[in-house]
Amino acid sequence: MCLRKRVSWLAFLYVGLICQLAVSQHVASRATRAALILLASTSSPAVLAETDSNGAAEESTNEGAAASGSPSDTEEIPETCQDTEDEHPVERYNASGDRVITPSELAKHVGEGGASETNQIWLSILGKVYDVSTGEDFYGYGKGGYAYYAGRDASPCFSTGQNNDEGAAEALEEWEDKKLMGVWEWSTFYEDHETYKYLGVLAGSKYFDDEGNELPVRQDIVKRASEAKAIADKEREEKKKKRQAERLARKNKQ
pLDDT per residue as tens digits for the range 11-67: 555 555 554 554 445 444 554 454 444 444 444 444 444 444 444 444 444 444 444
Asked whether the whole model's pTM tops 0.75, one would answer no
- Burial label for 159, CB within 10 Å (0-12, 13-18, 19+), is buried
Q: Which amino acid is at 96?
A: S
Q: How far apart are CA 79 and CA 77, in angstroms?
A: 6
User: What is the signed CA dihedral for 220, 222, 228, 230, rounded to 10 degrees?
Assistant: -130
Query: Domain extents for the chain?
Result: 2-66, 93-244
Domain range 93-244, its CATH number among 3.90.180.10, 3.10.120.10, 3.40.50.2020, 3.10.300.10: 3.10.120.10
Question: Is residue 84 predicted with pLDDT exceeding 70?
Answer: no
